[in-house]
Amino acid sequence: MAKEKVYATPNIVTPNRPVIFDSKICNGCNRCVAICLMDVLIPNPKKGKPPIIMYPDECWYDGCCVLECPKSGAIKMNHPLMQRVRFKRKDTGEHFRV
Does residue 91 interact with other proteins by CB under 8 A?
yes
From the CB of residue 83, how many other CB atoms can be counted at a distance below 10 Å?
10
Three-class secondary structure of residue 52 per DSSP: strand
Distance CA 39, CA 51 (A): 11
Does residue 22 interact with other proteins by CB under 8 A?
no
Distance CA 79, CA 76 (A): 10
Does residue 28 interact with other proteins by CB under 8 A?
no
23 vs 87, beta carbon nearer other proteins = 87
Helix (H) or strand (E) holding 34: helix 31-35
Does residue 29 interact with other proteins by CB under 8 A?
no
* Contact between 74 and 21 (Cβ < 8 Å): yes
Does residue 64 interact with other proteins by CB under 8 A?
yes
The binder of other proteins chosen from 17, 27, 49, 55 (CB under 8 A)? 55
Interface positions with other proteins (CB under 8 A): 12-15, 18, 34-39, 42-43, 45, 52, 54-55, 57-64, 66-68, 77, 79-80, 82-83, 85-91, 96-98
